[in-house]
Every structure is written in C-alpha cells, then in structure tokens.
C-alpha cells in the first residue's frame, strides 16, 4: 500500500479530532499533532517548496520550529534541518508572525537563493511520507482509539 493511501484513514481521524477541538492542535495527543503538522506542511512543500510553506499563514501562527520538531519526531531529520536553516535566513525575528515582512522578503530573493535550494531538497521527498507512515504504525494505539 502506498504511504498516502495508508495515511488516509489516520489523517481523516486526526483532522476530524482537530475540527472537534475547534482547531486547537494543542489538545490532541502528540502523535495526532505530528500527523496533522507533517501532512499539512509536506503537502504544501511538495507543491512549491519552502516558498509555499513560508507564504502560508498556518492556523494559530506556530513557530516554524513546531514543524521542524514534528519532522524530527518521524525521523525526517534532513527536512527538519533544512527547514530550520531556511527559517534562520529571515532577517527579522518571528517570521511566523509577520506575513507582510515574510512575503516581501521572499519576493526580494533571487531564484537561486539558499532558501529555495533548501526547499527544493524537501519538495517531493517521498521518504517523508514513508517515515510518517511508519510513525503512524508505531503509534497505532493512538490512531485506533483516538
């Protein structure tokens, strides 16, 4: 079974629980939080690299380290490091809270900028979906009784 096919039922459950919690990710068990974060972020990254990720205003405006920590939790350390490195390239504090500054900065960058190269390394990385599938398998009890 393909990773995305395997993840359909667990992700449906996790997002249903998130909806029931009125979008408050913090009330979900950690494995559900991790699935929601990776499923959402990697879907966006696969469509447009880190540029699309950083252009997004994520619900609750979490720090980008929340996402990189979720990648680490599933074992996708290369993506976690790349995301942390890309975040560090912003020339101002708390880019997750400043969409205007963030988008102006992204628009000012040349196509060959390191931020885009880092994003290219994560875009289309099938290993993320495999690692997320394995993470869900390892936490099956949470997904079966959540």
pLDDT digits (tens, 9 = 90+) for 1-11: 687 788 999 99
pTM: 0.94
Q: What range does the domain containing 95 cover?
A: 3-145
Which pLDDT band, with edges at 50, 70 and 90, does 63 fall under?
very high
Please report which confidence band the pLDDT of residue 145 belongs to, taking 50, 70 and 90 as the band edges: low
Number of domains observed in the structure of the chain: 1
Q: Which residues contact 95 (CB under 8 A, 6 or more apart)?
A: 54, 64, 87, 101, 102, 105
Determine phi and psi for 127, rounding to 5 degrees. Answer: -65, -25
What pLDDT does residue 4 have? 77
Q: What is the pLDDT averaged over residues 32-47?
A: 97
CATH number for 13: 1.20.1420
Q: What is the mean pLDDT of the chain?
A: 95
Average confidence (pLDDT) over 16-29: 95
pLDDT, average across residues 113-117 = 97
Q: Can you give the pLDDT at residue 58?
A: 94
Q: Is the pLDDT of residue 146 over 50?
A: no
Residue 101 has pLDDT above 60, yes or no: yes
Tell me the mean pLDDT in the region 3-28.
93
């Amino acid at each position: 079974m393909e990773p995305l096919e395997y993840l359909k039922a667990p992700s449906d459950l996790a997002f249903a629980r998130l909806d029931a919690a009125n979008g408050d990710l913090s009330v979900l068990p950690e494995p559900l939080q991790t699935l929601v974060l990776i499923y959402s972020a990697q879907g966006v990254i696969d469509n447009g690299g880190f540029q699309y990720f950083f252009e997004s205003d994520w619900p609750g405006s979490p720090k980008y380290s929340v996402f990189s920590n979720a990648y680490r939790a599933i074992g996708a350390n290369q993506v976690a490091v790349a995301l942390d490195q890309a975040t560090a390239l912003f020339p101002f504090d708390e880019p997750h809270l400043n969409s205007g500054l963030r988008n102006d900065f992204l628009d000012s960058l040349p196509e060959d900028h390191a931020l885009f190269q880092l994003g290219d390394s994560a875009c289309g990385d099938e290993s993320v979906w495999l690692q997320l599938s394995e993470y869900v398998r390892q936490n099956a009890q949470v997904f079966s009784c959540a």
